[in-house]
């Protein structure tokens, strides 16, 4: 099964899951949740500036930032990079402990802090070699609105419902409602 990047390098997908035999997008409702979420997120990330360039030039000089060509991290906490700054990220990830932070909410922020402190990859630390095949022939990513419409129109679309009841440990498999007194609703969560 071939792995492909779509739109931006970095996130890789099983080709058979995202494309039909005709080279068109596979139906969104037939993709795994992770694949669908990443593809929809990619639609929002295209044409965004490189995080490292943005950190160097700031808001006033945003037009000087290179467009992102690479995405690393998880949807919503991703790092966007141009080809010039990919080596810096890879050095941080491989040599400075960034890989230990994979999946953490602060992944992007930790790279930003490292980079903003003036840290960079050594001169000889080059980015990985990449093979591009027909990048201009990719179909357009659906907008989030179009994706939602497609999901709702799918014949087997089923609204997800979550059972928040705590199962009892008896043999009958009965459940009891969650005791609201046990919930800590005063917890402060980071905003993004």
* pLDDT (0 to 100) of residue 3: 87
Q: Which residue has the tokens 């990449």?
A: 130
The answer, yes or no, to whether residue 21 has pLDDT greater than 50, is yes
Q: Parallel, antiparallel, or unpaired for β 79-81 and 70-72?
A: antiparallel
Q: How confident is the model at residue 100 (pLDDT cuts 50, 70, 90)?
A: very high
Mean pLDDT of 166-187: 55
| Tens digit of each residue's pLDDT (9 = 90 or more) over 157-176 | 444 455 555 555 555 544 45
Q: How confident is the model at residue 103 (pLDDT cuts 50, 70, 90)?
A: confident
| Tens digit of each residue's pLDDT (9 = 90 or more) over 57-92 | 887 656 667 889 999 999 999 999 999 999 999 999
Within the chain, residue ranges assigned H as helices are 15-18, 33-45, 51-57, 86-95, 107-116, 144-153
The answer to whether the pTM exceeds 0.75 is no
> Rounded to an integer, what distance in angstroms lies between the CA atom of residue 78 and that of residue 47?
14
Mean pLDDT of the chain: 78
The answer, yes or no, to whether residue 94 has pLDDT greater than 80, is yes
* pLDDT (0 to 100) of residue 51: 94
The answer, yes or no, to whether residue 34 has pLDDT greater than 90, is yes
> Rounded to an integer, what distance in angstroms lies between the CA atom of residue 21 and that of residue 9?
22
Higher-confidence residue of 43 and 61: namely 43
């Amino acid at each position: 099964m071939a792995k492909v990047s779509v739109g931006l390098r970095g996130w890789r997908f099983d080709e058979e899951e995202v494309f039909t035999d005709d080279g068109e997008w596979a139906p969104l409702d037939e993709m795994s949740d992770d694949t669908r979420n990443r593809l929809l997120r990619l639609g929002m990330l295209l044409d965004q500036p490189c995080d490292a360039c943005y950190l160097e030039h700031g808001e006033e000089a945003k037009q000087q930032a290179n467009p992102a060509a690479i995405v690393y991290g998880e949807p919503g906490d991703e790092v966007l990079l141009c080809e010039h700054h990919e080596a810096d990220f890879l050095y941080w990830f491989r040599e400075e402990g960034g890989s230990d932070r994979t999946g953490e909410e602060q992944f992007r922020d930790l790279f930003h802090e490292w980079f903003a402190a003036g840290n960079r990859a050594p001169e000889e630390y080059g980015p990985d070699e990449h093979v591009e095949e027909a990048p201009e022939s990719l179909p357009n990513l659906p907008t989030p609105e179009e994706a939602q419409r497609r999901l709702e129109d799918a014949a087997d679309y089923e609204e997800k419902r979550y059972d928040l009841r705590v199962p009892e440990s008896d043999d009958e498999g009965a459940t009891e409602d969650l005791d609201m007194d046990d919930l800590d609703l005063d917890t402060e969560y980071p905003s993004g």
